[in-house]
Amino acid sequence: MEIGEVSSVNQRRQWLFVFLVGLFITNAITAELISNKLIEIPALFSIGETKFGPFTTIIGVIPWPVVFILTDLLNEFYGEKVVRRVSWITAILIAYCFIIVSVALAIPAKEIPNSSLATDHEFHKVFGQAQMVIVGSIAAFLFSQLMDATLFHWIKRKTGNKYIWMRSTGSTVISQMVDTIVVLYIGFVLPGALTFDQFLEIAPTNYFLKLIIAILLTPMIYLGHYLVKRYLRVSE
């Protein structure tokens, strides 16, 4: 490969990295900001008399599948150290975002009659999440991402470049178990919002939903690998 071609490939890798990290951070912060809303997902399927669903979960579950895919692509094409650094930076930026939100909450709103702008009560209702929920969500994000990176590369060292689905889905399945346990326990059990019995009832349901999402994302992971390789013009 000539010098000009090497330079072109490096530029493509740099621009792709900037895009993937930017999209990763955007989705992670957005998921945290919109999570103060519960939604119900209807039953996904049934076996005999047993129905799997409906599930009650937070609206923040919508951006997380994108985070799963981006974590896999960063792991695959940029390495474990990069994912760890990006995870730490993202956790810091999530905390920074909540600091800005806290400042915004502390500043009184100017009440304008017949205005569609948010009042203090409305603003607090949307953005005034409990501090322990914030701590739990940041801790869960960081623990799960660092575990995902470690497991991904452990599986890859054992299997080589084969079995993309195994290292991608396998690492996600285990890391999201950690995410579910940490965020619910720190954010809800410790402050007393949930009893331990309620935690034992809710945690498996939330994890099962994440497990289904991870499995359904497998074709998208293969598509992502194909598109990245085509953009970088690399072969197997």
Domains of the chain, start order? 3-232 (1.10.1760)
* Backbone angle region of 163, left / alpha / beta, with phi > 0 → left and psi within -120 to 50 → alpha: left
**Structure confidence at residue 3 (pLDDT):** 53
Query: pLDDT band for position 15 (50/70/90)?
Result: very high
Q: How many CA atoms lie within 13 A of 53 on its CB side?
A: 14
Summarised one tens digit per residue, pLDDT across range 34-44 is 877 777 777 76
Q: How far apart are CA 153 and CA 216, in angstroms?
A: 22
* Interval 181-223: pLDDT, tens: 888 888 778 877 778 887 887 788 778 877 787 788 888 888 9
> Mean pLDDT over all residues of the chain?
82
CA angle in degrees (0–180, nearest 5) for 102-108-111: 135
- CA separation for the pair 125, 121 (Å, rounded): 6
- Give residue 92's pLDDT band: very low, low, confident or very high (50, 70, 90): very high
What's the rounded mean pLDDT across residues 60-81?
87
Q: What is the pLDDT of residue 26?
A: 94
**Angular region, 111: left φ>0, alpha ψ -120 to 50, beta rest:** beta
Which pLDDT score is estimated for 235? 56
- Find the angle CA(170)-CA(145)-CA(217) to the nearest 5 degrees: 45
Q: Which of 85, 65, 60, 62 shows the shortest CA–CA distance to 75?
A: 85
- pLDDT, one tens digit per residue, over 133-158 is 788 888 888 888 888 888 888 888 88
Amino acid making up residue 158: K
- Which residue, chain included where needed, has tokens 């090497």? 6
Determine the pLDDT at residue 130.
Answer: 63
> Residue 61 contacts by C-beta under 8 Å, 6 or more apart in sequence?
31, 39, 209, 210, 213
Its pTM surpasses 0.85:
no
